Structure 1
Amino acid sequence: MNARRRTRPDGLPGRVYEKGASYYWVRPDNRWIRLSKVLEGDLKMLERLAEEKRRFQPVFEGRGNLPAIISTYMDQKASTYAASYRDEWKRRGEGVRSYFRDWNVERIDAAAVEDFLLNNWPDKLPTQRAMKAWLSTFFSWAVRKKHATVNPTREVKVKKPKKRNVYIRDDHFLAIREWLLKYSFTLHEGTSQARKVTGTVPTGPMMQCMIDLCYLTCQRSTDIRTLTWDQIDNEAGVIHFLPSKTEDSSGEAVDWPLTPDINAVLSHAKLLAPAFGQKYVIRDRRGNPKTDQACRDAWEGAMARAGLADKPYTIKDIRAKAMTDARRAGYDLDALQVAGAHTDRSTTQGYIKSREVPVSTVVLHLPQGDAA
């Protein structure tokens, strides 16, 4: 049976279909591969999809031995990464595997790594650094497993990105928040007819809850995306946060008070679909935590509809805005260090200082000249 063309969006990856009680992937050779049961959720389906693609693609897409070695590495190491980061880690690995599909591991040198970074992300220094880090860890493993003799990333230098100093203006934040809920565009019919089309975005209310919690708790978007109802301690009146970025290092945690504003957002989120079998506060239509990419797409779409597509705002900037606003409201650095679960006070200062523009108190007058 051949894959059918979708007549309406269903939120599934390309060539993946829901058939009966299961998900299936239609390979490029039109063979249907069962991935998982629908009841097992999207995460299980996506893991199986990545696994099946790795098994299939080297036969059809590459002539080198590097893709197979990368596949082995990813299969062995994926489980060592936090669930909140694992999908992003796999996505980076798939990008490396695809780019070097015709390469043998022994041919990869510093020049090849540098070309990979510069050809794909010439103006994105943070992404260059992230991909170099992925390759460095991979080649370190490859050397230990005797697939390679050297780690070629050691000779590659990547410029350090400029310190991020983006602050989301209040009116821009509120505009993006509003446009998460709706869309509007002009539909031209013929040469002279046009009508305005407006509507609501089905995922908008849940995304509003997400950015509201990002702001009201000063926490990272990853920790809001993966927030579970078990972390809401109504008896103690707090949310228990163990930031994913520090769980394997400092283990720094923070309990955030359940303010009336936060309780209102949580109550709203609880009523949104799906309202049954809930585990995650911010969830997709199947009850799974929203993916980083889905949140980025929703945020960028709302920015475009709000006329702010040219602005450099990202969801991650909400945390910096919240901490900067708290500082302006009178909270000292000690309170903000606790709020941000920072072990180093300089980290807290970095969040705020670069976004605070000092106002000069110097007042000058034009010289009057010497009296005759």
Structure 2
Amino acid sequence: MADTIALAFEEYTVATVTTKDCADFLRDNFRSKHNTAQKYANVLRKLFKFSISERGLRQDNPCDQLDLSDYQTKRREVLPRHAAIKAIRDAALIGKDGLPTEPGPMFQCILDMPYLVWQRAIDVRTLLETQIMDTAIRFKPSKTAGTSGKVLDVEITPQIHAVIERAKAIKKKYQIISPYLFSTQKGGAYSKTGLHSMWRRAKERAGVTDGIQFKDLQALDATDAAKAGNAREEIQTRLAHTTGKTTEIYIKVAIPEMSSLNLQRPW
């Protein structure tokens, strides 16, 4: 992040940067990435705080007057129904012509895995077989690669193991040689547009009209885990989030606390 800031402000000195310059930097680079914009604003604020207190290069912090109201992290309210996901999953196997689809079985694997490992579509569709160890899958989430750089080992449960074996069997059936676990017929990784196209077509054939997207699977598993009573800290770790605030955005259903006071009427 500091490298990105250094490149953007290479023609400035510390003393000449204004609040407007910082606002323009956030707007030009992170207009639609609200959470990232806030993180960069915090890094900028710390850099200028250091330049004031430790280096004496200026007397004010231009980030103190930044208006970040346009970068508030908004909660996506859409939560997929389990029945809708099942319908899309089933519809992936049969095309409009009523015949079996070739990519259907592999698409089902790609659909099952994000729910089980809680990772983003890009980290699942580009999953390499070398990331699969004896007891865990090692993920380096793309979303945090440029920030926290978190690495996450997800334990291979029986259900995850079953998906891995299904994908390998499909590759063996079609004699596909590929470093990717979920490869296309040609051996490459599924592209973002290719995956979304399969999702859209299967969704149409299933007659699902909900505004759900493939990425909503992460919110579904986080919400299901919260409903099951799993601790927020465990959910945050699995999602590779640096803050609990981001995790709360993924949990779509507020889990109410139970009050069981049994008071007697004194009258």
**TM-score of the superposed pair, with normalisation by structure 2:** 0.67
**Cα shift at 1:255:** 0.5
Output the amino acid matched with 1:342.
H
State yes or no: 1:230 paired with 2:230. Answer: no
Residues 127 and 181 of structure 2 are in contact (CA less than 8 Å); yes or no, is this contact kept in structure 1? yes
Output the amino acid matched with 2:32.
R
Between Structure 1 and Structure 2, the one with more strand by share is 1
Structure 1 moving runs of 4+ over 2 Å: 127-130, 157-163, 273-278, 357-361
Q: For 2:137 and 2:169, locate their aligned partners in 1 and report how far apart those are by CA, in whole Å.
A: 19
Partner of 1:288: 188
State yes or no: 1:271 paired with 2:169. Answer: yes
Percent identity between matched residues is 33
**Cα shift at 1:359:** 7.0
What are the equivalent positions in structure 2 for 1:1-372 lying under 5 Å apart? 129=32, 162-184=74-96, 197-234=97-134, 237-273=135-171, 274-308=174-208, 310-352=209-251, 355-356=252-253
Q: Aligned pair in 2 of structure 1 residues 160, 343: CA closer, same or farther (>3 Å)? A: closer
Output the amino acid matched with 2:188.
N
Q: Aligned pair in 2 of structure 1 residues 358, 340: CA closer, same or farther (>3 Å)? A: closer
Q: Deviations over 1:188-237 (max 9, x none)?
A: xxxxxxxxx51111111111000100001011111001100000001xx0
Q: For 2:229 and 2:133, locate their aligned partners in 1 and report how far apart those are by CA, in whole Å.
A: 27
Q: For 2:231 and 2:71, locate their aligned partners in 1 and report how far apart those are by CA, in whole Å.
A: 33
Residues 129 and 158 of structure 1 are in contact (CA less than 8 Å); yes or no, is this contact kept in structure 2? no
Q: For 2:130 and 2:183, locate their aligned partners in 1 and report how far apart those are by CA, in whole Å.
A: 14
Matched position secondary structure for 1:182: coil
Q: Which structure 2 segments of 5+ residues have no match? A: 1-29, 37-68, 259-267
**Cα shift at 1:253:** 1.5
Q: For 2:137 and 2:195, locate their aligned partners in 1 and report how far apart those are by CA, in whole Å.
A: 22
Q: Aligned pair in 2 of structure 1 residues 338, 275: CA closer, same or farther (>3 Å)? A: farther
Q: Deviations over 1:254-304 (max 9, x none)?
A: 110111111111001012145442200111111111000000000011111
Output the amino acid matched with 1:214.
P
Q: Deviations over 1:158-198 (max 9, x none)?
A: 787852111111111111111111134xxxxxxxxxxxx51
Q: Aligned pair in 2 of structure 1 residues 326, 297: CA closer, same or farther (>3 Å)? A: same
Residues 76 and 249 of structure 2 are in contact (CA less than 8 Å); yes or no, is this contact kept in structure 1? no
Q: For 2:247 and 2:254, locate their aligned partners in 1 and report how far apart those are by CA, in whole Å.
A: 16
**Cα shift at 1:357:** 5.1
Q: Deviations over 1:237-266 (max 9, x none)?
A: 000011011112101111101111111110
Q: For 1:284 and 1:202, locate their aligned partners in 2 and report how far apart those are by CA, in whole Å.
A: 10
Output the amino acid matched with 2:253.
E
Q: For 1:182 and 1:248, locate their aligned partners in 2 and report how far apart those are by CA, in whole Å.
A: 40
Q: For 1:179 and 1:347, locate their aligned partners in 2 and report how far apart those are by CA, in whole Å.
A: 33
Q: For 1:303 and 1:128, locate their aligned partners in 2 and report how far apart those are by CA, in whole Å.
A: 30
Q: Root-mean-square deviation (CA), in Å?
A: 2.6
Matched position secondary structure for 1:240: strand
Q: Aligned pair in 2 of structure 1 residues 201, 329: CA closer, same or farther (>3 Å)? A: same
Q: Aligned pair in 2 of structure 1 residues 322, 249: CA closer, same or farther (>3 Å)? A: same
Q: Which structure 1 segments of 5+ residues have no match? A: 1-126, 134-156, 185-196, 362-372
Q: Aligned pair in 2 of structure 1 residues 176, 276: CA closer, same or farther (>3 Å)? A: closer
**Cα shift at 1:325:** 0.7
Output the amino acid matched with 1:341.
A
Between Structure 1 and Structure 2, the one with more helix by share is 2
Partner of 2:9: none
Tell me which structure has the larger Cα radius of gyration. 1
Residues 228 and 280 of structure 1 are in contact (CA less than 8 Å); yes or no, is this contact kept in structure 2? yes
Q: For 1:215 and 1:343, locate their aligned partners in 2 and report how far apart those are by CA, in whole Å.
A: 20
Q: Aligned pair in 2 of structure 1 residues 290, 256: CA closer, same or farther (>3 Å)? A: same
Q: For 1:210 and 1:287, locate their aligned partners in 2 and report how far apart those are by CA, in whole Å.
A: 15
Partner of 2:19: none
